[in-house]
């Protein structure tokens, strides 16, 4: 058996998303793999024949962010060339061959798109804003915080007319080309105000587009989010737009007008395009799915209160009842919670001919549930066999209109693959697991223990290869972020391939535990709220109790315990390092040092107020009690800190405060700042650095090896073994 090096982990190909064609005979799979020379990840599309398993790459060395089937042999892909200058545009692959037809030409790139009517609806930042340009001309550049309006627009593009338009362009001379009109209309202009559009949900009936937006680009204005229904006859609207624009261009050409003025453009009558209505929905509501016939809506919002710490349920209602509601209270009366039978947070609803499919955590696994929109039948779990869906932000699963399910998933013994569910069970579509077939990664299992307040907690444990229960092993915690997230039973999770080298530590005899501390998903909504008003303190109870549990089994050396994590996991690691004497070393990735410093400078200040239940500018005692930095005077645990310089979620000042404070107290501390990154690290070479620094840190403090955080590399010399 082979024991992989760090670069071996980064070089692995990984499935991100899979979608079946409408007929279900083909699957499009997005696969991520590194291009080391360019220091970037490629995300390419692979087409799989479901019956035969035959595969072929549709793209090569591209950065494909989104895939949508337009027909059984037509796939639309949102992609760029992967360069820093490359803009994302939508490309259509007809017949699933060739280089793809670029159908959008947005100046600042396309953010997202969805199929609609005879084309697509896409989101893009508007090319210009006459008011902002006039302001800049007079006063220079500045930002009016939480006031400057968003500049995202939603456009509809008719693909058949675009093909005709491009053929006409190819045949036209210069003067004729100036009179031709591209068949794309700005649907969001009907709303009548500039917005930061976050997503669009299109009706399968082809008559409506639902726009989820907030007033500005800042996340802090999400509390003022709005939902708009745009009703449009797409074919008629585009035809009339082209007719009017062609006539206007001809008139301007005849009058010698080279370009339409901004003032004249703003005065256009757009009512012929359709209508827009703001829905009177509850605070923090968003439309997430539409019924196949377009008459029903799935809406997400927190039914109890508007705190960000409160679970947001999924609700259904007739479309007409919601459009007729004049107030949020009236809307509440027609909304019915469809997830009431599932005691978990449900994600990614897909409404199809046989129900509404969602994904949710279930213990240390993910489950796909089929819900009854009418509420008369109990939720039904989709049987995925010996593997389970791996939920992520990339797209955890997909269901076709006829109810065929596909997903990316694996298990404690199986590397993630693309799968589809058939009558015979789950069918594997890829063979990515062949990459790790001869790797010895130890054993992954779920364990449970009782925390200090009597709460049962669980997590996933990786035992070293050849584990000997009679021997005491070093113990390393890898703590997930969120906090509303989960670590599941996975052979090789993303964090092990990008941030924390648990496979390498396990190969050296270290037991690795991912604790699903209070507030995590998977153990019910009551457990999910146990950390509200108890951040840090309760988390430490859960982690320290795990040490006691494993010590009681005789498995761990309690003098050699480490803790590491990113984001909320970094905060918990910092809290453990500064408020406990039970850790030999900790690693803090993008972690919080002080809640007040964090809250007044980040992009989600509501998080601190709602999770800690405090007035940020009143009594700050609760902020102090749960802040890592408040334990500075008693600290003696060595701390490694890793942070992105451009991080707005957890600003760099948090890392600097920890670093300077520990320096002043004479505690061993090392800080690595990644200048090109925000909250996550996103490039392979820097992932290599993060992995190496963590491996060197814990190999030193848990295993007694020499500390070599920045290995000396010579231009022609071999790469040190620890970094491979």
Which residues does residue 41 pair with via DSSP β-bridges, in sequence order? 34
pLDDT-derived band at 133 (thresholds 50, 70, 90) equals confident
Q: Report the 3 state secondary structure along 97-155.
A: CCCCEECCCCCCCEEEEEEECCEEEEEEECCCCHHHHHHHHHHCCCCCCCCCCCCEEEE
Which residues does residue 304 pair with via DSSP β-bridges, in sequence order? none
Q: Which two tokens stand for residue 519?
A: 């507030």
Cβ contact 75:68 at 8 Å: yes
More confident call, 129 vs 581: 581
Cβ contact 62:39 at 8 Å: no
Residue 523 has pLDDT above 70, yes or no: yes
Which residues does residue 408 pair with via DSSP β-bridges, in sequence order? 418
Task: Report DSSP state, residue 291.
Answer: -
More confident call, 3 vs 396: 3
H or E segment and range at residue 204:
none
Which residues does residue 513 pair with via DSSP β-bridges, in sequence order? 461, 477
3-state helix, strand, coil in the chain (%, to 5): 30, 30, 40
Task: Report DSSP state, residue 188.
Answer: G
* Residues 6+ away with beta carbon under 8 Å from 247: none
Please tell me the distance from the alpha carbon of residue 529 to that of residue 388, in angstroms, as a whole number: 25
Please tell me the distance from the alpha carbon of residue 36 to that of residue 78, in angstroms, as a whole number: 23
User: What is the CB neighbour count within 10 angstroms for residue 550?
Assistant: 21
Strands (DSSP E) contained in 464-591 are: 473-479, 511-516, 556-566, 585-589
Q: Which two tokens stand for residue 594?
A: 């002080």
Residue 391 has pLDDT above 90, yes or no: no
440-723: in CATH 1.20.1250.20: no
Distance of CA 585 to the CA centre of its chain: 30
pLDDT-derived band at 400 (thresholds 50, 70, 90) equals very high
Q: Which two tokens stand for residue 194?
A: 């500039």
pLDDT-derived band at 261 (thresholds 50, 70, 90) equals low
Least confident of 98-107, 252-261, 577-586: 252-261
Which residues does residue 301 pair with via DSSP β-bridges, in sequence order? 313
Please tell me the distance from the alpha carbon of residue 406 to that of residue 429, in angstroms, as a whole number: 10
User: Burial code of 680-712, b = ≥16 C-beta within 10 A, e = fewer?
Assistant: bbebbebbbbbbbbbbbbbbbbbeeeeebeeee
Predicted local confidence at residue 5, as pLDDT: 96
Full-model pTM = 0.95
Least confident of 456-460, 620-624, 646-650: 620-624
Q: Is the dihedral of CA 243, 249, 253, 255 positive or negative?
A: positive
Please tell me the distance from the alpha carbon of residue 462 to that of residue 441, in angstroms, as a whole number: 8
Tens digit of pLDDT for each residue in 6-61? 999 999 999 999 999 999 999 999 999 999 999 999 999 999 999 999 999 999 99
Note the maximum CA span of the chain.
Answer: 92
């Amino acid at each position: 058996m082979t024991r992989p090096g760090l670069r071996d982990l980064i070089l692995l190909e990984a499935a991100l998303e899979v979608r079946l064609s409408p007929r279900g005979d083909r699957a499009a799979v997005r696969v991520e793999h590194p291009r080391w020379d360019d220091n970037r990840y490629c995300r390419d599309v692979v087409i799989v024949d479901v019956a035969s398993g035959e595969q072929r790459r549709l793209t090569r060395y591209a950065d494909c962010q989104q895939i949508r089937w337009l027909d059984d042999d037509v796939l639309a892909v949102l992609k760029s060339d992967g360069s820093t200058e490359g803009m994302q545009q939508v490309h259509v692959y007809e017949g699933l061959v060739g280089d793809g037809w670029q159908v959008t030409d947005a100046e600042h790139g396309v953010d997202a798109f969805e199929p609609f009517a005879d084309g697509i609806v896409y989101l893009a930042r508007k090319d210009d804003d006459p008011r902002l340009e006039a302001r800049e001309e007079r006063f220079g550049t500045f930002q009016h915080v939480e006031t400057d309006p968003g500049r995202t627009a939603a456009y509809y593009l008719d693909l058949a007319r675009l093909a005709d338009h491009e053929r006409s362009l190819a045949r036209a001379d210069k003067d004729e080309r100036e009179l031709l009109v591209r068949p794309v209309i700005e649907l969001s202009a009907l709303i009548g105000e500039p917005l930061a559009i976050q997503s669009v949900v299109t009706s399968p009936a082809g008559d409506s587009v639902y726009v989820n937006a907030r007033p500005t680009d800042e996340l802090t204005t999400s509390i003022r989010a709005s939902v708009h229904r745009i009703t449009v006859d797409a074919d008629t609207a585009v035809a009339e737009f082209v007719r009017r624009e062609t006539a206007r261009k001809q008139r301007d050409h005849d009058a010698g007008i080279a370009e339409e003025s901004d003032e004249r453009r703003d005065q256009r009558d757009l009512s012929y395009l359709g209508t827009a209505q703001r829905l009177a929905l509850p605070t923090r509501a968003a439309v997430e799915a539409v019924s196949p016939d377009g008459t029903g809506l799935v809406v997400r919002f927190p039914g109890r209160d508007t705190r960000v710490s409160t679970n947001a349920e999924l609700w259904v209602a007739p479309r007409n009842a919601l459009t007729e509601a004049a107030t949020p209270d009236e809307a509440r009366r027609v909304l019915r919670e469809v997830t009431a039978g599932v005691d978990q947070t449900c994600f990614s609803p897909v409404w199809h001919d046989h129900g509404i499919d969602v994904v949710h955590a279930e213990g240390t696994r993910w489950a796909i549930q089929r819900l009854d929109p009418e509420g008369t039948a109990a939720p039904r779990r989709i049987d995925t066999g010996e593997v389970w869906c791996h939920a992520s932000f990339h797209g955890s699963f997909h269901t076709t209109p006829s109810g065929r399910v596909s997903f990316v998933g694996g298990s404690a013994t199986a590397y993630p693959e693309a799968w589809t569910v058939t009558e015979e069970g789950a069918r594997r579509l890829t063979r990515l697991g062949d990459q790790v077939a001869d790797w010895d990664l130890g054993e992954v299992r779920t364990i449970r223990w009782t925390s200090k307040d009597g709460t049962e907690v669980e997590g996933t444990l990786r035992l070293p290869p050849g584990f000997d229960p009679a021997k005491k092993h070093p113990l390393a915690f890898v703590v997930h972020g969120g906090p509303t997230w989960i670590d599941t039973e996975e052979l090789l999770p993303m964090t092990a391939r990008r941030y924390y080298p648990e496979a390498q530590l396990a190969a050296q005899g270290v037991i690795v535990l991912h604790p699903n501390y209070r507030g995590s998903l998977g153990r019910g909504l009551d457990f999910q709220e146990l950390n509200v008003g108890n951040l840090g303190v309760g988390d430490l109870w859960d982690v320290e109790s795990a040490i006691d549990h494993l010590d009681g089994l005789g498995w761990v050396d309690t003098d050699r315990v480490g803790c590491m994590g990113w984001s909320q996991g970094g905060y918990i690691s910092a809290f453990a390092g500064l408020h406990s004497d039970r850790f030999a070393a900790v690693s803090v990735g993008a972690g919080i040092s002080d809640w007040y410093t964090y809250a007044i400078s980040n992009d989600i200040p509501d998080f601190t107020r709602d999770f800690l239940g405090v007035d940020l500018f009143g009594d700050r005692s609760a902020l102090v009690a749960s802040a890592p930095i408040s334990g500075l005077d008693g600290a003696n645990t060595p701390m490694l800190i890793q942070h992105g310089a451009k991080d707005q979620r957890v600003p760099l000042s948090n890392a600097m405060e920890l670093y300077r404070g520990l320096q002043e107290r004479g505690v061993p501390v090392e800080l690595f700042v990644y200048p090109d990154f925000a909250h996550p690290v996103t490039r392979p070479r820097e992932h290599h650095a993060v992995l190496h620094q963590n491996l060197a840190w814990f190999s030193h403090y848990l295993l007694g090896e020499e500390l070599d955080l920045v290995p000396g590399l010579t231009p022609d010399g071999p790469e040190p073994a620890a970094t491979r």
